[in-house]
Copies of this chain bind each other. A is one copy, B any other.
Amino acid sequence: MKIAIAQVNNTIGTFSENLEKVHRLYMKAADLGADLVIFPELCLTGYPPQDLLERRDFVDQQEAAFRRLVQLTSEVGLVIGHISKNPAPGEKPLFSSVSLIQGGTVVHTSHKRLLPTYDVFDERRYFEPGRESLPVDFKGLRIGLTVCEDIWTDQHICPECRYNVDPARELSMKGIDLLINVSASPFHLGKLQQRRGIAAHITNEIKCPLIYVNSVGGQDCLVFDGASFAMDPSGEVFAQLPLFKEELATIELDKREGPTCQLLDQEAPLAIEALKLALRDYMKRSGFKDVVVGLSGGIDSSVTATIAKEAIGGEHVLGVIMPSRFTSKESIEDAEELAANLGIETLTIPIKEVFNAYLTTLSPFFEGRPWDVTEENIQARIRGNLLMAISNKFGHLVLSTGNKSELAVGYCTLYGDLSGGFALISDCPKTLVYEMARYLNQKKRLIPERVLKKPPSAELRPGQKDQDELPPYDLLDKVLRAYVEDGYTKDEIVAMGVEREVVDQVVARLIKSEYKRRQAPIGPRITKKALCCGRRWPVCHGFRG
């Protein structure tokens, strides 16, 4: 049997476009001789539709698109994830479903049974869990249909996945020849291995092949990486679709033949590719053609601009250099060299005059008080405002350039460097930003060597260095990863060999700066636990643990 995998990038709520694309790929797959074409989870709505699911008009439009799709099917089977109404009384009025459609009829529908409600997932908010899993017969094959989380039953691999139900095993006990999983599974570093582990666990357990179809695309903070695959019961992958791009591919199930693709496995290039997709899709979906980035000559803005250039082309990236009295000559040179290397246009807009006007304007009120963070923040805010002025006047999207380490400890200025529509590297720890810079420089030096070597500085007062105010970044990132991503307690982190004072300082800063993050622009999630989504901490609380 020839099975097509359609790894699509659909936009939430564009029902006619989504339907048109699904139909087009279905027809194309039929032309390629496919017996069955598989699309991802919630394919007609896009994922995650969030509270749009609470709107009757949204649900009705999806239903109409789904009915139309059913009418359009021939004898070639079509498996697709979609929402359906729960006709019975139950906590929630909708199911997340997967159907096999053929010849103008819905042959079989299963409802997602395991509904992830943790981290970035809120599925219990919208969906009622399905109650049973039944195989469906299709052209001599008994197929088990599952949706995403339905196969995430190995708690060793996913600790949050605590379920008492195992849909794949239930299907297997009823006898299946093929397990299909339609997913909208977001990317983070380590996710590919985790997903492979989950799949190997399942196929090994139920002794039948698995076809895993994932969606692709950037949606707000989430990046869906695609990387759909087919795995035989031994755990061997016999078909692999690419990362981070739409693709239609066919596999020969009986011969265990399908497309091959070498997946990236290093963190830096994986993160870069994820960010490129996230940026392109954010721009496409919010109607931007160009970005503007403030270039400080530092590592963060250099990496941001370089990734932007790789994602959308240098002609769509505008660099703005905004020197102050504290900006070193080297910083300006580095920013200019970077821009030249990237082939991007720059504007140089000194902030001196505006800064002086602020100081003069405020001097009657600040008289006799020493220079402090106020004056530093004013400079950062002038830069933020200038970038927003460029954005307002010319229609560019402002990319903010802060990294995760800064954002975590609040080493950033609200309405200053936190200004922007999209915070491209906001989930990249500083140590990863350096790794990305080195990777970006591999083929050709884009980021000046000095940018990688000089000690990071906000240059908001004479002689300022990040390391005078923060622990060294490798240590900071270690503590943040342990506390934020892995959930270790402060005591446990001390037991790992970090000084208690450092741990206390980092956690205190993390907690204290929650209010800044609430007002930070969204940015793509690439780690297991991002700060902008999937982490819900109160702003006000007294926990200091």
Contact = CB atoms under 8 A, between A and B. Distances in A.
A13 B285 CA distance: 40
B349 A365 contact: yes
Given A285-B540, A542-B12, A414 B388 contact: yes
Contacts of A54: 487
Contact of A415 (B55, B369, B388, B518): B388
Contact of A535 (B51, B58, B490): B51
Interface in A40-54: 46, 48-52, 54
A353 B359 CA distance: 10
Contacts of A14: 541-543
A286 B357 contact: no
Contacts of A369: 393
A357 B359 CA distance: 12
B489 A421 contact: no
Nearest to A165: B91
Interface stretch (A117-125, A223-231, A235-243, A463-471): A117-125
A17 B392 contact: no
A294 to B, nearest CB: 14
A536 B51 CA distance: 5
A420 to B, nearest CB: 9
A486 B396 CA distance: 36
Contact of A515 (B61, B366, B421): B421
A110 interface: no
Q: How large is the interface on A (under 10, 10 to 19, 20 to 34, 35 or more residues)?
A: 35 or more
Contact of A543 (B58, B122, B365, B392): B58
A482 interface: no
Interface string A525-538: 00000000001111
Given A219-B538, A362-B386, A393-B369, A545 B415 contact: no
Contacts of A366: 393
A50 B538 contact: yes
Interface string A94-114: 000000000000000000000
A288 to B, nearest CB: 11
B52 A385 contact: no
Nearest to A520: B519
A56 interface: yes
A13 B541 contact: yes
A42 to B, nearest CB: 13
B390 A385 contact: no
A87 interface: no
A429 to B, nearest CB: 20
A482 to B, nearest CB: 12
Contacts of A522: 515, 518, 539
A164 B116 CA distance: 21
A490 B390 CA distance: 35
A480 to B, nearest CB: 15
Contacts of A50: 536-538
A313 to B, nearest CB: 21
Interface in A289-318: none
A311 B57 CA distance: 42
A273 interface: no
A381 interface: yes
Nearest to A218: B540
Contacts of A475: none
A542 B11 contact: yes
Interface in A108-162: 117-118, 122, 124-125, 162
A416 B189 CA distance: 36
Contacts of A285: 540-542
14 contacts: A12-B543, A13-B541, A58-B545, A91-B117, A118-B125, A122-B122, A124-B124, A220-B538, A286-B515, A350-B361, A362-B386, A374-B389, A414-B419, A519-B519
Interface of A: 11-14, 17, 46, 48-52, 54-58, 61, 89-93, 117-118, 122, 124-125, 162-164, 219-220, 281-282, 285-286, 347, 349-351, 353-354, 356-358, 360-362, 365-366, 369, 372-374, 377-378, 381-382, 384-386, 388-390, 392-393, 414-415, 419, 421, 487, 489-491, 515, 518-522, 535-545
